[in-house]
Structure 1
Amino acid sequence: MKHVTKADGGRQPFDTVKVQRTLQRMGLGAGDAERIAGEIEESVPDGVRTAAVLRMIRSRARTVRPAVGHRTNLRRALGLLHPKPDFEEFVRVLLREHGYRVRTGCVLNGRCGEHEVDAIAEKDGTTVFVEVKHHVSHHRVTGLDEGRIARAIIEDLQEGFRSGRCVVDIDGALIVCNTKLSEHAKRYAACRGIDHIGWDYPEEQNLRTMIEETRSYPITIVSNVNRSVSTRLAAAGIVTAKQLAEGDTATIANDAGIPLKEVLLIAGRARAILEP
């Protein structure tokens, strides 16, 4: 059995099914994904680094679906967004895509103090405040502090509502981050009833699956979109590839202060990525 070496130096068995899933997320059919995954497993040496496997996946996938060449790795794309306001707005757009009613610019009065939250989200009769945590490096782990802070804010806001200081009846908190969560953070959130969305947590509806289900990729999924360009687009309200692909390019170019030729190029690549 062959093994791969992860970024942290750990080793694990080569997972052909995982490679197939990655290929399918890039838009390949099941048959092509299975064939290419088998070819990669056969050709790599034991102990190959996961980064090298990913490069092989992208290279082989491009031969079947050229649009793969227009996109970067999703985890890297999320890391390329600025924490504020780009990633915060991206999370708000993603939540709306999943049926949440989202309000922004919210300052809520608790019993003991004011709390500026990234959003208030409502769905199925439940109202939560949203806290967004972003790491530039997707290898970082989101720890316990965010959950402990959120718990304290929940208590203060709920006491504030009962005393008449807070106008919103908050049921809980939703913490969204672009990285994996520590096991301690998961246990604490589960124990305290705090909803937590991380890169691969919870299994049923995590950040990756939420993005892929609605094809709400960040604008930085498009290759050669750097932070400067993504920031200008975000200022014009464009944080996803879908918004750019479906929007009026002339208006976007004018609002973002980016040459129309460059916007047309990025929009064309975005449409190619989004094609089924």
Structure 2
Amino acid sequence: MKIKKNSGEIVEFDKAKLVKSLVSSGASLRMAKQILHDIQPKLFDGISSKKVYSLAFQKLKIVSKANAARYSLKNGITALGPAGFYFEKFIARIFELQGYQVMTNVFLEGNCVSHELDILIKKDSHIAMIECKFHTSLDAKTDVKVPMYILSRFNDLNKKKYAIFANNEQISKCWLTTNSKFTSEAVKFAECSGLELLSWDYPLGNGIKDLVNRFNSYPITCLTTLTSAEKEILLLQDILTVYDLIHHEKSFEKLKLSETRMKNVKVESNQLLNK
């Protein structure tokens, strides 16, 4: 059976891949296979990958909202758009959790022109710039032109010293991160030129999905018990992650939830964080 991806590409439906993604969310192998069995009668040749995901998500949500939230992690990160402003702040938060000092939206004068930088990080006296490339499509890929462009900006900045976290500091490394994936040529160019990449699944075992699970930094946008409007209210308060939501005493105030709904949100959040 063929399925149609968001990009329009037609590929063979991979049952094992669906089961694996459900297990990765915390579902047991038995439950994952049961979900596959339950949705199969609704599948047809040419069905969209989005529809397959939706069918599996709805079944998983009945069993465990926390597992459904993990299963929807990629969609949750994409919901940090559409402009990518919240995505930049989310990436900054991930680096903070790894022990970096972080600054966002910094303006610096390069050797030739001025630059607005998404993120600057510092650890062990080394400073790096991070540029974020956000895509609204789950199937979009960042091609080789983007790391080429980012590297040219880095080269215009790394010869000067600045007052950033302290005086007389120099940017010595450059990162490019995206919420989707990189093309093989983009990876090849980055590896050759010394540019660090971070995407949904790159580097292998240390991509965004791995870091989120490792540091329990799930975005609030993956919660199943909140509406999109409620998530936006939280994001405007700089409540980016489920951890922030649970550990900020006044984070629920502007949501005006009923006691029952608040309890449901807290149960899902705690289950998500205490996997």
TM over 0.5: yes
TM-score, normalised by the number of residues in structure 2 = 0.80
The number of residues matched between the two structures is 267
Over 3 Å counting, the alpha-carbon distance change for 1:218 and 1:138 in structure 2 is same
Over 3 Å counting, the alpha-carbon distance change for 1:272 and 1:11 in structure 2 is same
Give, in whole Å, the separation in 2 of the partners of 1:9 and 1:131: 28
Percentage of identical aligned residues: 24
Q: Which amino acid aligns with 2:256?
A: P
> Could you say which residue in structure 2 is the equivalent of 1:269?
268
Aligned 1:80-229 pairs, distance under 5 A: 80-82=79-81, 83=83, 85-123=85-123, 126-161=126-161, 167-223=168-224, 224-226=226-228, 228-229=229-230
- SS of the aligned residue for 1:186 comes to helix
**Cα RMSD after superposing both structures:** 3.2
Question: How far does the alpha carbon of each residue in 1:210-233 deviate from its partner, in whole angstroms, 9 at most, with x for none?
Answer: 22222311111013431x433432
Does 1:258 pair with 2:255?
yes
Give, in whole Å, the separation in 2 of the partners of 1:89 and 1:8: 27
Over 3 Å counting, the alpha-carbon distance change for 1:107 and 1:68 in structure 2 is same
> Could you say which residue in structure 2 is the equivalent of 1:27?
26
> Could you say which residue in structure 2 is the equivalent of 1:55?
54
Q: Which amino acid aligns with 1:154?
A: F
Does 1:78 pair with 2:77?
yes
TM-score, normalised by the number of residues in structure 1 = 0.80
Q: Which amino acid aligns with 2:255?
A: I
- SS of the aligned residue for 2:171 comes to coil
Q: Which structure 1 segments of 5+ residues have no match?
A: none
Deviation of residue 23 (structure 1)? 1.0
Give, in whole Å, the separation in 2 of the partners of 1:85 and 1:10: 29
Which range moves more in the overlay, 69-78 or 233-242?
69-78
Over 3 Å counting, the alpha-carbon distance change for 1:84 and 1:52 in structure 2 is closer
Question: How far does the alpha carbon of each residue in 1:253-273 deviate from its partner, in whole angstroms, 9 at most, with x for none?
Answer: 45xx43254983544432343
Deviation of residue 196 (structure 1)? 1.4
Over 3 Å counting, the alpha-carbon distance change for 1:253 and 1:41 in structure 2 is closer
Q: Which structure 2 segments of 5+ residues have no match?
A: none
Over 3 Å counting, the alpha-carbon distance change for 1:183 and 1:76 in structure 2 is same
Asked if the contact 2:25–2:71 (Cα under 8 Å) also holds between the matched residues in 1, the reply is: no
Give, in whole Å, the separation in 2 of the partners of 1:46 and 1:236: 44
Over 3 Å counting, the alpha-carbon distance change for 1:157 and 1:233 in structure 2 is same
Deviation of residue 178 (structure 1)? 0.9
Question: How far does the alpha carbon of each residue in 1:161-180 deviate from its partner, in whole angstroms, 9 at most, with x for none?
Answer: 39xxx932212211111112
- SS of the aligned residue for 2:160 comes to helix
Asked if the contact 2:77–2:219 (Cα under 8 Å) also holds between the matched residues in 1, the reply is: yes
Deviation of residue 204 (structure 1)? 2.8
Give, in whole Å, the separation in 1 of the partners of 2:107 and 2:90: 20
Over 3 Å counting, the alpha-carbon distance change for 1:266 and 1:39 in structure 2 is closer
- SS of the aligned residue for 1:201 comes to coil
Deviation of residue 32 (structure 1)? 3.4
Which range moves more in the overlay, 260-269 or 188-197?
260-269
Over 3 Å counting, the alpha-carbon distance change for 1:114 and 1:270 in structure 2 is same
Over 3 Å counting, the alpha-carbon distance change for 1:38 and 1:126 in structure 2 is farther
Asked if the contact 2:198–2:207 (Cα under 8 Å) also holds between the matched residues in 1, the reply is: yes
